[in-house]
Amino acid sequence: MRILSSEEAKTAIKQMQSIINGGFTDQISQLDAQGQILSDPNVWDGPLADQFRGTTWPETKAALDKAKSELEELRGQLDQIAANIFSAGGAN
């Protein structure tokens, strides 16, 4: 069985963690908040607003929720991977 943990792997993990922890999930939450505002017929109404409320936003919100959940899962996996790599000393 081959075990390899190169400096490139360490750097990639740190970069992914930085992106996720640096606010990417917060930006998804911000998109959700704005979508909720646009979904209010007292804020925006008409044929395009109806389409947004009925189709566009529900589909987009579901995708955003899934992405956020998967990012949280990835964050946990990255933490575990990083701990394993860094505790092994990065031996090639």
The pLDDT value recorded for residue 84 is: 81
**pLDDT by residue, tens only, the chain of 92 residues:** 777 778 888 899 989 988 888 888 889 999 999 999 999 999 999 999 999 999 999 999 999 999 999 998 998 998 888 888 777 654 44
pLDDT score for 89? 58
Cβ atoms of residues 24 and 70 within 8 Å: no
pLDDT given for residue 45 in this prediction: 97
Domain-by-domain residue ranges, the chain?
48-81
- Tokens 């993990």 found at: 13
pTM of the model: 0.75
